[in-house]
Amino acid sequence: MDQARVLVVGGHGKVARLLLPLLIEAGHQVTAVFRNPVHRTDVADSGATPLVADVEALGVAELAELFAGHDAIVWSAGAGGGNPPRTYSVDRDAAVRSMEAALRAGVRRYVMVSYFGSQIDHGVPAESSFFPYAEAKAAADTHLAQTALDWTILGPSRLTDDPPTGRIETAAEGATAGAVSRADVAAVVLETLRDPGTIHRTIRFNSGATPIADALRE
C-alpha cells in the first residue's frame, strides 16, 4: 500500500507515537484520532493530522464519518487497564463498532494491534485483573476475523521501551510469548500495511533475529 491515507485510532498511545513518523516518512497521509485535546500539539509535531474524538462515545455512523476517505484503519486504542467496564467499552465494544464503521465507510484495510495471547480460550483466570482485557481483546479479534474487511491482527508479546532492532520472531517460526519493543511493533505495523500477504492473518511475534519484512512473509 503506497502513499495511502491511513487513520490511526489511539493516535497518542505509546506505539502510535512511534508509528506516526514512520508512516509519514513512508509517504502516507496520516490522521491520528485521540481523545484528549491537550495532545493535539504532540500529534501535529509528528506530521500527522490531529483529530480529537472519543471513539468510546461514538456510534457506528459517527465513526464511519471519521473513517470516510481513508484507505486503511490502524486500531491502536485501548482503555489502559484498571477499569473493567471501560476495558470492555473500548477494547471490545468500540473496536467492534469501528469494524462495522470501516465497512460502512468503504475502508477495507484494517490492522488491529492486539497482544500475543489473544484468543477465545486464553486461559486467564476470571479472578485475574487481566481477565477483562483478555476477554475484550479475544472478542474483538474474533469478530474482526469474521468480517469482510482486509484485516490483519498483530499480536506482540510484552511491550518494552527498548530501541528498535528491526528484527522479530513470529509464532510461525516457533516464537512463544516473550517481549518486543514498542518501536519494533510500530515497524511491524508499517510493514503490514506495505505487504498484502499479511491480509487475513493473525501474526503473533516477539523480539527475534529475522528482519521484519522476512518474518511477515508466510
pLDDT at residue 120 above 90? no
- pLDDT, residue 54, reads 95
Tell me the mean pLDDT in the region 182-201.
98
What contacts 34, CB < 8 A, 6 or more positions away?
A: 10, 11, 12, 43, 50, 51, 52, 53
pLDDT at residue 19 above 90? yes
pTM of whole model > 0.85?
yes
- CB-based contacts of 86-91 (< 8 A; 24+ apart in sequence): 86/56, 87/132, 87/133, 87/136, 88/132, 88/135, 88/136, 89/56, 90/55, 90/56, 90/136, 91/133, 91/136, 91/137, 91/140
pLDDT at residue 3 above 90? no
- pLDDT, residue 44, reads 95
Q: Is the dihedral of CA 185, 189, 190, 194 positive or negative?
A: positive
- pLDDT, residue 95, reads 97
Tell me the mean pLDDT in the region 5-19.
97
Quick: pLDDT tens for 124-140.
898 998 899 999 999 99
Average pLDDT score over the chain: 95
Query: 123 falls in which pLDDT band (50, 70, 90)?
Result: confident
Which residue from 135, 136, 53, 151 is spatially nearest to 102, judged by alpha carbons? 151
pLDDT at residue 195 above 90? yes
Tell me the mean pLDDT in the region 97-107.
98
Residue 52, φ and ψ in degrees, nearest 5: -85, 120
- pLDDT, residue 96, reads 98
Q: What percent of the chain has pLDDT over 70?
A: 100
Lowest-confidence region among 26-30, 68-72, 83-87, 184-188: 83-87
- pLDDT, residue 51, reads 97
- pLDDT, residue 175, reads 86
Quick: pLDDT tens for 156-176.
999 999 999 999 999 999 888
Domains and CATH numbers, the chain: 5-215 (3.40.50.720)
